[in-house]
Structure 1
């Protein structure tokens, strides 16, 4: 009887409820819906396909000098699409190339989503849903620019930092080995794709006496050197230098944070003077940089200030690295939090802000949500979603009204709200980077992490 009673009780005991947001079917449905939004937008209206068609003309030689502003490594995903879509010897056309490029972007997003789901399926689903929602609210730009590829490489760099740290704590054999090398190689590849990730190399610096510090730094610069040689051999030295000279010649892009006062002033001039008023002193034109720039009173000084602020951001990265050398308090969480803050400072102080730039920061924040379970990281993820939605309102919804001369008020309001959200996001990221260490932020013990690997 007691056995029967126990068996009966066990039979009627409720099974643990599966967390439905992490159920693979629920995640799959959410992912499909989120990606159908930009795909339908692209395929039905051709929205934001101009850049993909520009990539095609550059790769096929139909437009001289096209894509010279992109680092050679940054063009490799587009080259893969061109190669795959031309299999069979018949070549490819623009429409096929557009479809192939969007398909590749969807594919890498799907792989990243799967990796996030694998990491959180038993602990919590917000990281994977954050990425899914980001894909849905970011609009067509999410899948039609090359920026998603270096952004995901930076996320891979962050994930491998944590993977190597966990392994060293379990084995007590030191933080280095394949995770360290792979992490730094991914960051180097991202740098060669888009330049800006190079500043994140400062986040690799740890204690001066730790061999693991120099493993990370040497592998980073060594990987850069190898990729530079590959580019120089395959495309010539000019392909190494053209992206740098191109960036130096750019003006004040209309969507940048610093351009906001002048765009607002141009719109207010329309309100005050009316259609028959005096000519607006600020002009928005399509520049040689292949973007819309604003010029007029104050924009020259603004560019000078931005140059100083960009230099200050780089100096801050150097100071941060020097502090880690001396204090010997490097941890993966500290490195990733600083990387997130640095990305946002680069965006805020940049004379250019294209709508896809949020793809620089969203993937690494998704990784941070997995490994750094702190309220401030959740807040950052929510702020990114709000900013991404506002960015979609700026481009493509109101973009034609924004680049009018002078711009229309509704477009300027959308830009103002988005840029305020970007500044708030940057402040929150900096706050996380300089907040007191949490339980997961403790440095590796002194006896761990000193092997050369």
Structure 2
């Protein structure tokens, strides 16, 4: 009996109700959530798009151009800019839901639930833009591979980290070459425009910014220092706003944790390379592995499942390895998580997909409990025990999520290249 596609009105109602509740929360916490948007607005005032030295140096130039466009639409009023910015992100949120509904109602429902648990913050940070571009790339991997690669490049132009995602999406097969080609073409065009207009120093400033910042209090690697700060009878650990516009912790052992973060980042790069080898190149050279034939539906399905797991593992790894963990980073997981929830079940990954989804939903809810609901107690001179406990729980969940995603990504990627007998050449390649 054919499956009946559910009516779309339930998704519309769920989106309206959830977003109305988020709007009510914003009304009570507006000053907290508006802060970064006001910072965006004041930073671009009077700045020329061709001369952005010192203007939002922590962000890639294309995202600054987008902020300048919204500022030009808003005029001189900061309040109008906040409204235009939030409305733009709200429209992007709605567009993602619509896009996902056309792909899978299950994916749409997961997007609505996950972003609801993050809260109204999704409308007041720029991170929804790369999240939406990664989602677009995932939905076009097979049908429009060149556009998929282009979307990854656009995501990298706004937040850098999506550049890692092209590694498991590339390869020697026709569609994989198109993804890589779309990525390289769009990336080269944007990179050339940025370097020509801004120079090398401003083009590389987001990397320099990230390399020189301290240990943010919400980072996974700040967990133990934050606990020590809570229970310590003296003032050995202190929290203050740094020149990087973030609350950072200083005290005994913090320098060591920064080194651990750097080591974790190196491990993430190695994991990305390994996943690319196993998925894009079928583990060529490993015992029992061989290259796929031009058309192999079974291998295509395995490869697609492995790509979803790999992308999710890489994004969680980026968040966990980082010495900063701003709450808006959770938005990055929304697209891959929704796609895995929709397609992982069909690919035979029902139980692992359910497990990581539950963990991610829990991490999103705990993140909102930390920021903005209890952030004042976390950064005050006398830290709150409840919010510190919530922060520790969230970070432990994220570590568990990273381990689970890495494990299943490696297992799925390893299976891609395993073949006992060659399959007949029938049908068109999918991935």
- Does TM-score exceed 0.5, indicating one fold? yes
Question: Structure 1: how far apart are the matches of 2:248 and 2:337?
Answer: 30
Task: Give 1:70's aligned residue.
Answer: 59
Over aligned residue pairs, what C-alpha RMSD do you find? 2.9
Deviation at 1:185, TM superposition (A): 0.6
Structure 2 distance, partners of 1:328, 1:406, is: 59
- Residue of structure 2 equivalent to 1:291: 246
**Deviations 1:79-101, CA, capped at 9 Å, x for gaps:** 3322333xxxxx23111111111
Provide the rounded CA distance (Å) in 1 between the counterparts of 2:213 and 2:423.
47
1:426 lines up with 2:402 in the alignment: yes
Task: Please report how far the alpha carbon of residue 442 of structure 1 lies from its aligned counterpart in structure 2 after TM superposition.
Answer: 10
* Matches of 1:249 and 1:186, distance apart in 2: 29
Question: How far did residue 214 of structure 1 move?
Answer: 3.5
Structure 2 residues not aligned, in runs of 5+: 285-289, 293-299
Shift of 1:51: 0.4
Partner of 1:158: 138
Pick from 286, 306, 318 the counterpart of residue 346 of structure 1. Answer: 318
Counterpart of 2:370 (choices 394, 404, 411) is 394
> Among residues 194, 212, 221, which one is paired with 2:184 in the alignment?
221
CA contact (8 A) 1:77 1:146 kept: no
- The number of residue pairs the alignment matches comes to 401
Superposition deviation, residue 75 in structure 1: 2.7
- In the TM superposition, 1:302-451 aligns within 5 A as 302-324=257-279, 325=281, 326=284, 327-328=290-291, 331-373=303-345, 374-375=349-350, 376-436=352-412, 447=425
Q: By how many angstroms is 1:116 displaced?
A: 1.6
SS at structure 2 position matched to 1:284: strand
1:17/1:416 CA distance change after superposition, 3 Å: same
Q: Structure 2 CA distance, aligned partners of 1:116 and 1:33? A: 18
2: CA distance, partners of 1:96 / 1:310: 39
In the other structure, the counterpart of 2:196 is 233
SS for the counterpart of 1:49 is helix
After alignment, is 418-427 or 247-256 more displaced?
418-427
Deviations 1:145-199 (A, max 9, x none): 10011011111111111x42xxxxxxxxxxxxxx121011100110111011111
Kindly state the Cα deviation for residue 406 of structure 1 after the two structures are TM-superposed: 4.4
> Is the deviation greater in 437-446 or in 92-101?
437-446
Shift of 1:439: 11
Which one has the largest radius of gyration? Answer: 1
Gaps of 5+ in 1: 1-15, 86-90, 165-178, 274-278
- Superposed CA deviations along residues 308-327 of structure 1, whole A, max 9, x for unmatched, are 11112102212222334224
Question: How far 1:450 sits from its partner (Å)?
Answer: 9.7
| Equivalent residues of 1:147, 1:356 under 8 A apart | yes
- Identify the residue that residue 143 of structure 1 maps to in structure 2: 123
Q: Which runs of 4+ in 1 moved over 4 A?
A: 16-19, 436-451
Q: Which one of 145, 158, 171 corresponds to residue 206 of structure 1?
A: 171
Q: In terms of mean alpha carbon deviation, does 228-237 or 357-366 score higher? A: 228-237
**CA separation in 2, counterparts of 1:449 and 1:79?**
48
- TM (norm. structure 1) is 0.81
| Residues in 2 aligned to 1:92 and 1:306: alpha-carbon distance in whole angstroms | 41
TM-score normalised to structure 2 length: 0.85
Cα displacement (A) at 1:259: 0.3
2:249 aligned counterpart, secondary structure: strand
**Alignment equivalent of 1:83, drawn from 72, 82, 91:** 72
Aligned-partner SS, 1:382: helix
